[in-house]
Structure 1
Amino acid sequence: MLQTLSSPLPARRLLLSASISMALLSLGACGGGGDADDGGAQADIAAVAEPAVAPCRASGNNVFDQLLGCVTVDGVRRHLAALQRIANAHHGTRVSGTPGFNQSADYAEKVLRRAGYQVTRQEFQFQTFLSRSPSQLEQVAPRPVQSIENRIMSYSGSGQVRAAVARPSGAATGCSSADFAGFPAGSIALLRRGDCTFAVKATNASAAGAVGAVIYNNIPGDLNGTLGADFTLDLPVTSVSQATGERLAATAGLVLRLKTDTFRGQATTSNVIAETAGGDANHVVVVGAHLDSVDAGPGINDNGSGSAAILETAVQMAGMRVRNKVRFTLWGAEESGLVGSTRYVEQLTQAERDRIALYLNFDMIASPNAGYFIYDGDDSDQVGAGPGPSGSAAIEKTLQGFYSRRGVAFRGTDFSGRSDYGPFIAQGIPSGGIFTGAEEVKTAEAAALWGGRAGEAYDRCYHQACDTYDNINLRALDVNSDAVAYATLYYAMSARPLADLRKKASQYTAPVVTWPEHPPVRQ
């Protein structure tokens, strides 16, 4: 059963859906993070005006160099400043289903229309999630009483409980009901990440009589997860780091107090879709990024960065004569489980899917402690879910070539279907893209390769209020905005029959996605 709101709430923002009467979230602010010089950030945000539309006059033999010269970091930052300004006007968030997202989509539509594109807004409903106040986790016993840093699991139920803590008698991950044999009903379950979805863990714990659940990471760093939109149990569920979880697991006589205050309900949002007037309509290059943030913050790196790079690329490509049609897409409700991209792919006919030559995905391309990752289309890393559909390896090589020419070291990242490429690879559509890291901790080896700070997350503000205009690595934004422009133009102009890249969907087995949340890391 969906939670209902039983009492009036302070006015913050209203969901634009008749299914939801009112909702709120209390959002704080924390500092930025990054290697960029952001001294003028607030002035940049305050000064942002209507986006200038000045298409690149690229022609002749050096069209790639000309386009990359036109797609500037300043141009991309203007779009980021606009998104930050929108978030500032809507209590620090641009989450789908709220005016903050709707105005972000309005802004993107205006930019694309002024550049000369025909723009479509594809509306759809989805199950939204809001945390109306920060989750609280407190050690009550043994004393002293102390607060514990935690992250609420998206789609957690509401509740306030004080109870002894118990672990499964079987596997610590709690992925089987048998793991909870003898579990003391009325306890808070302490579970380790891994082997199954967070929803399975929480459901098994609830069935065993748990009144709440705390899930701890199985790798260093914080854990940001989702139970998925189908999770409807009224069970409070939160997460802690690996170090915290292991400390709690070793504490005898542990009693915790856990409080969550959440809203789950139907909301309406949209995708923004624009395409070139020219180009072969039988060989469509789809370029996409999700436009929404989580409800905790403005989402400027995640994923204003990918959206802004696509917007600026589209503006600068306006009017170019392309060989293959290009479709620019900004997705809604990605943070709710890839909903927008999934709805888009689902509503296409098979003939329309067959006309899509490939999909390029750009999600989190300017993390402050950045790495440079390319989706592993050929599974050369032999990690995780396996290769993408036939043709994905060619996209990977195109992006590798770009980085090599720029003198930027790169590594692969697992092609698991946890970002908006997921629905495309499920249909056998070749896909690829770039990523600069999320909450995973940068190793000493990675820091030696790329610089930055070992022992810290690639993005320490991932899914937090501090993912602001200041939370951007300007070098990564500059390099990767050019990567977006290069890959888009490369396939827009490709003389090679793009149909040769792909096989029919029946010839490709998509990976099983166990956690529809985009950082491509192991669960």
Structure 2
Amino acid sequence: MRPGTTGTTGRDRGRRRPAWRRPATALIAGLAAMALVACANAPAPPDSNVALGDGAGAADGADPGLPDRLAGAVSEEAAYAHLEAFERIADQHDGNRAVGTSGYDASVDYVAGVLREAGYEVQTPSFDVRTFTAGDARLTVADAPVTTEVLSFSPATPPGGLTAPLSVRPSAPEDPTPGCDAADYQGMPEGAIAVVERGSCEFGQKSQVAGAAGAVAVIIVNTEDAALPATLGDTENVVPTAAVTRTAGQTLQDGQQATLVLDTTIEQQSSRNVLAETKTGDPDRVLMAGAHLDSTPEGAGINDNGSGSAALLEVAEKLGAEPPAGQRVRFAWWGAEEIGLVGATKYVEGLSEQDAARVALYLNFDMVGSPNAGYLVYDGDNSDNLGGEAGPPGSETAEQVLTDALVAAGAPEPEGTAFDGRSDYGPFIEAGIPAGGLFTGAEEQKTPEQAQKWGGTADQPYDPCYHTACDRLTNIDRTAFERNITAMGSAIGRFAVDMSGVPAR
């Protein structure tokens, strides 16, 4: 999962702009026709219990029993075998599956191979992506070292670093946007290193605005005593930017002499998505389901997001390429999510307006096996007021269907999680496509109330191995993983058969 608004971000803490009303533009060729042969374990002929009441909402030619059968067919053990394969791939390729690495390419080949064996025709379209690597990151203030970390896609400082006085920008408790506007830098000396607090705009905006006001670098002070592995994204005209913890930031004083050293490299590379689509169902009414396939460079990424990728692969296998569905089902495994949702964004931006309108709904699965698991569903209607925005109409239906599916799978009562664009659903809702998804939590801490309801440990992260080398098979809660896989099968089956509650666009 991309560092995001719940903790570490390209977009800082706060509400996202409701830009989903703007339609996507640009052109893309449609997917080729899918394979004629269904996988051997595709759903059986209709003979199971109806999952959708009397089936009145099912599209022509669709089998209302499909959701129940698919939920019963998907297997945690089979999905776990895919996780084992992802860990083997990482171990054979320098310990990770990050964008631009042989480990990621091997992951693409593995997923594509499984899908072809299941009867799908598979595409692995490439896209251009900027990659980022960081070496040394040092901050010295008044001749004393201060622990710091570089934000992804920060420019490097000159060799030997840059030395300048600090300019601590004042912020009021009621101001949600410190360092986001030109007015925040009034009176700052030319050539200073700006020190600003987190706020509700993108970090790239902070760096860009500070640079335009004359800052030679930016230090962002976190609102908590925790790491801030954030990103500047694709923002242009940014300056070298690093972050410190809240306590470290409180020691920084206006006018102190500071030296910042950031050793970074930004390169242009190519990566790939994986796409597969059923042959049956209405090609003008498409259900999409996706998960990001890349890890961070720090490790194998077995929960983030091997778990979502493996679960989705298992659902695709069991659904088969020719299910009795009313809608086409298009599966996607995205590349370069960890560095800014690049694969999903490139895909959505490449859709023509007509092709975007054919995508009726997008479901996202990012981290569904966290070891201190939460049971979280994207808050599509913003009814929980968690700091996101309501998604396009139909997102509230996705939330309800996924919530019901989790409960039916044996999970305790789920909660909402902010619909803030943090994962690959972000580009879809920006393009006006309704979306939803499941999530078992990342670096945020489980509350005592949640621990009482769900089990696990209060006041500890949902995933203590988030973006670290310990995100391996030992980092998976197999009970949560199984419940989420079952819920995914049920929800994908439901929308494949019945899109009621999701308006046509």
SS across alignment from 1:265: strand
Task: Verify the 8 A CA contact 2:405 2:488 in the aligned structure 1.
Answer: no
Q: Deviations over 1:118-145 (max 9, x none)?
A: 11111111222222x3x43455647xx5
User: Partners in 2 of 1:408 and 1:381 — Cα distance?
Assistant: 18
TM-aligned CA deviation for residue 212 of structure 1: 3.4
Q: Do the aligned partners of residues 109 and 152 (structure 1) sit closer, same or farther apart at CA in structure 2, a change above 3 Å counting? A: same
Is it true that 1:334 corresponds to 2:337 in the alignment? yes
User: Partners in 2 of 1:477 and 1:181 — Cα distance?
Assistant: 51
User: Partners in 1 of 2:257 and 2:41 — Cα distance?
Assistant: 62
Query: For residues 188-337 of structure 1, what are the structure 2 equivalents within 5 Å?
Result: 188-219=193-224, 221-231=226-236, 233=238, 235-246=239-250, 248-249=251-252, 258-318=260-320, 319-337=322-340
Partner in structure 1 of residue 503 of structure 2 = 502
Task: Verify the 8 A CA contact 1:421 1:432 in the aligned structure 2.
Answer: yes
TM-aligned CA deviation for residue 361 of structure 1: 0.7
SS across alignment from 1:470: helix
Q: Do the aligned partners of residues 442 and 309 (structure 1) sit closer, same or farther apart at CA in structure 2, a change above 3 Å counting? A: same
SS across alignment from 1:82: helix
Partner in structure 2 of residue 481 of structure 1 = 485
Query: For residues 11-410 of structure 1, what are the structure 2 equivalents within 5 Å?
Result: 55=41, 58-59=44-45, 60-62=47-49, 63-131=66-134, 133=135, 135-137=136-138, 141=142, 148=147, 150-159=148-157, 160-161=161-162, 165-169=166-170, 173-184=178-189, 187-219=192-224, 221-231=226-236, 233=238, 235-246=239-250, 248-249=251-252, 258-318=260-320, 319-405=322-408, 406-410=410-414
Q: Do the aligned partners of residues 477 and 483 (structure 1) sit closer, same or farther apart at CA in structure 2, a change above 3 Å counting? A: same
Task: Verify the 8 A CA contact 1:229 1:336 in the aligned structure 2.
Answer: no
SS across alignment from 2:390: coil
Q: Do the aligned partners of residues 243 and 82 (structure 1) sit closer, same or farther apart at CA in structure 2, a change above 3 Å counting? A: farther
Q: Do the aligned partners of residues 210 and 232 (structure 1) sit closer, same or farther apart at CA in structure 2, a change above 3 Å counting? A: closer
Task: Verify the 8 A CA contact 1:186 1:211 in the aligned structure 2.
Answer: yes
Q: Deviations over 1:203-228 (max 9, x none)?
A: 23334554433322225643231101
Task: Verify the 8 A CA contact 1:385 1:415 in the aligned structure 2.
Answer: yes
SS across alignment from 2:313: helix
SS across alignment from 1:128: strand
TM-aligned CA deviation for residue 328 of structure 1: 0.6
TM-aligned CA deviation for residue 64 of structure 1: 4.3
User: Partners in 2 of 1:85 and 1:272 — Cα distance?
Assistant: 20
**Overall identity of the aligned pairs, in %:** 44
User: Partners in 2 of 1:297 and 1:410 — Cα distance?
Assistant: 29
Q: Deviations over 1:288-329 (max 9, x none)?
A: 111122333332222111111110111111253323211111
Task: Verify the 8 A CA contact 1:170 1:180 in the aligned structure 2.
Answer: no
User: Partners in 2 of 1:129 and 1:189 — Cα distance?
Assistant: 23
Matched AA of 2:207:
A
Matched AA of 1:491:
F
User: Partners in 2 of 1:255 and 1:444 — Cα distance?
Assistant: 43
Matched AA of 1:330:
W
Partner in structure 2 of residue 521 of structure 1 = none
Q: Do the aligned partners of residues 350 and 83 (structure 1) sit closer, same or farther apart at CA in structure 2, a change above 3 Å counting? A: same
Partner in structure 2 of residue 464 of structure 1 = 468
Moved more, 254-263 or 458-467: 254-263
Task: Verify the 8 A CA contact 1:371 1:450 in the aligned structure 2.
Answer: yes
Partner in structure 2 of residue 414 of structure 1 = 418
Q: Do the aligned partners of residues 257 and 441 (structure 1) sit closer, same or farther apart at CA in structure 2, a change above 3 Å counting? A: farther
Partner in structure 1 of residue 437 of structure 2 = 433
TM-aligned CA deviation for residue 177 of structure 1: 2.8
User: Partners in 1 of 2:247 and 2:375 — Cα distance?
Assistant: 27
Task: Verify the 8 A CA contact 2:303 2:368 in the aligned structure 1.
Answer: yes
- Which ranges in structure 1 are unaligned for 5 or more consecutive residues? 1-52, 505-523
Q: Do the aligned partners of residues 252 and 285 (structure 1) sit closer, same or farther apart at CA in structure 2, a change above 3 Å counting? A: closer
SS across alignment from 1:395: helix
Higher RCO, Cα 8 Å, sep 6+: 2
Partner in structure 1 of residue 446 of structure 2 = 442
Q: Do the aligned partners of residues 280 and 463 (structure 1) sit closer, same or farther apart at CA in structure 2, a change above 3 Å counting? A: same
User: Partners in 2 of 1:180 and 1:94 — Cα distance?
Assistant: 41
Matched AA of 1:380:
S
Q: Deviations over 1:431-474 (max 9, x none)?
A: 11111222223232332332223322222332333333332222
TM-aligned CA deviation for residue 106 of structure 1: 0.9
User: Partners in 2 of 1:204 and 1:352 — Cα distance?
Assistant: 36
Q: Deviations over 1:225-248 (max 9, x none)?
A: 110123454x432223334434x3
Task: Verify the 8 A CA contact 2:83 2:307 in the aligned structure 1.
Answer: yes
Task: Verify the 8 A CA contact 1:293 1:302 in the aligned structure 2.
Answer: yes
SS across alignment from 1:55: coil
Count, aligned residues: 441
User: Partners in 2 of 1:239 and 1:370 — Cα distance?
Assistant: 28
Q: Do the aligned partners of residues 189 and 367 (structure 1) sit closer, same or farther apart at CA in structure 2, a change above 3 Å counting? A: farther
Given the two structures, how large is their TM-score scaled by the length of structure 1?
A: 0.77
Task: Verify the 8 A CA contact 2:182 2:209 in the aligned structure 1.
Answer: yes
User: Partners in 1 of 2:263 and 2:283 — Cα distance?
Assistant: 48
TM-aligned CA deviation for residue 58 of structure 1: 4.0
Matched AA of 1:485:
G
User: Partners in 2 of 1:395 and 1:91 — Cα distance?
Assistant: 38
Q: Deviations over 1:405-453 (max 9, x none)?
A: 2242211112222321122222322211111222223232332332223
SS across alignment from 1:76: helix
